[in-house]
Amino acid sequence: MTDFISIAKNWLEQDPDAETRAELQAIIDQNDIKELEARFSGRLQFGTAGLRGKLQAGSMGMNRVLVCQAAAGLARFLLSREKNPTIVIGYDGRKNSLRFAQDTAEIMQAAGIEAQLMPSLRPTPVLAFSVRRLKASAGVMVTASHNPPEDNGYKVYLGGEDDGAQIVSPNDKAIAAEIQWVADNQRVDELPRDTNYKMIDQAIIDEFIERTAKLATAPIADLSYVYTAMHGVGKETLLSVLDKAGLPKPTLVLEQCEPDGTFPTVAFPNPEEKGALDLAIARAKEVNAEFIVANDPDADRLAVAIPNEKGEWATLHGNEIGLYLGWFIASKAQKEGKTGALACSLVSSPLLGKVAKACGMAHQETLTGFKYIGRVPGLIFGFEEALGYLVNPTEAHDKDGISAITCFLNLINTLKAEGKTFAQYRQEFMDTFGAANSDQLSIRVEDLSRIQRILKAVRANPFKEIAGIAVEQYIDHLETETPNDILVFHLAGGQRVIFRPSGTEPKLKMYLDTTGKSLAEAQEICANIKADLAAFADSVA
């Protein structure tokens, strides 16, 4: 029988953090074996975005012991690859982000790896840019992106042949093995530390700002729009880019524009979540804005909201934004005689393939995550339906909400120069590529095993029809050349349903893409499929 008391005491003795020591000591004093088992039954593993989890004591949580083990393990991995590795480290405004970043810098520097720390809170895209610009061996961004306030995370990038992209297999497994070796053989309180690391020069941040500003190529028009940073770190960098580009400034949602890791005005700091843009919409109505742009807390995503003819505001689906930006960028490249590739993850809209073909571009569908999208050869634009867009792939290999806003403003200015409205652009897209609708049924769970119970039920008896529409093709990606826990159903009439567990949150996501003779028909088909799937999910205990 596992002695969780002894395991917890060993962890406690190494912990440099007074808060988590007190937290764990209280659990030990209460002899709460069930709670200790929950915290020490395994380790947080590298997933879609490196490490990510709840801030709490124990190997299943994000804390200083786990982060120090991760830093020491990553250091061992980097030293096994090259003689004089370097690393750049950034952090957001969440609880402990700066401390985790400093721990990483100190351990890396002591291990013989030249470490550079971001001089202030900055968006994830600035860190991703810095990895490539400084030709670093690796990069770490301490962030949990749009997760709830009790979470934090540790995103890893690699240089060299990975060229600044996020980690993929087999490197993720190799890093995890080194972290496990550290956990098994070294005590965190005995790891060498060196505080003589460097700060990333402000000139690198300025260069990111300057290069992003160059995306604004259209004549500058008057714009009335609202921006929210969602209590994150996007505002300062975005406003600097707008200044450099000479673009009009937005009306700010002041309650949400300064970093605050408690995210006091939203239930979840994710622009996709219902209610997250309520304050922005209220502000937009006050100033009669044309549109809203929003970043998530680490500013690597972009959300857009617009009003309809009745003045009712709605957030655009991530696929819509991706398709509009993709068409804009690909059309511009085509006019300039350029060729390249458009890419999206397999859960994103298949219409991007039509856009690519119409513009004489290649199209590639990847596994989920920009660690795959960013590696597509010849990429000129990539996106993922979860509000992630890579509009400037020559500068970084990850999604970037700052450059995406700049590109979206360039699209609006281009339309205005042509005497068009955004509504006309949307209709022109529909007339060219067809009426399509995207939606998502997202099931948030307390018990993670419920996700696998639902997927197991689907695999045991794959749907023959959904909402009365026949299934024409069923793909279980666990059985393909690139195994992944994703189920795809292609239905008659061009409809598609995809099941996928979230890589960053306790959710099962069902992605719905439908088409019809009109948008209203596509939306009705989508609503029927969504209702049928919701009833099925409810039926699985």
The pLDDT tens digits for 130-163 are 999 999 999 999 999 999 999 999 999 999 999 9
CA dihedral 517, 302, 444, 494 (to 10 degrees): 20
Q: Looking at 85-94, 120-129, 292-301, 303-312, which range is the least confident one?
A: 303-312
pLDDT at 47: 57
The rounded distance, in Å, linking the Cα atoms of 295 and 303 is 6
The predicted pLDDT at position 541 comes to 67
User: For the chain, which domains are there?
Assistant: 44-200 (3.40.120.10), 215-432 (3.40.120.10), 435-539 (3.30.310.50)
Is residue 145 annotated as part of the catalytic site, yes or no? yes
Read off the pLDDT of residues 316-325 as tens digits, 9 standing for 90 and up: 999 999 999 9
Q: CA 134 from chain center: how many Å?
A: 23
Task: Quote the pLDDT of residue 311.
Answer: 87
Alpha-carbon span 251 to 289, nearest angstrom? 9
Q: What percent of the chain has pLDDT above 70? A: 99
pLDDT at 328 over 60: yes
Neighbours of 274 (CB within 10 A): 10
Full-model pTM: 0.94
In this predicted structure, the answer to whether residue 36 has a pLDDT above a threshold of 70 is yes
Active-site position among 97, 130, 145, 403: 145
- Over pLDDT 90: what percentage of the chain? 91
Total Cβ atoms within 10 A of residue 267? 11
Does the pLDDT of residue 30 top 70, yes or no?
A: yes
CA gap 179, 174 in Å, rounded = 9
Residue 459 in this model has a pLDDT that exceeds 60: yes
258 burial level (CB within 10 Å; 0-12, 13-18, 19+): middle
pLDDT above 70 (res 203): yes
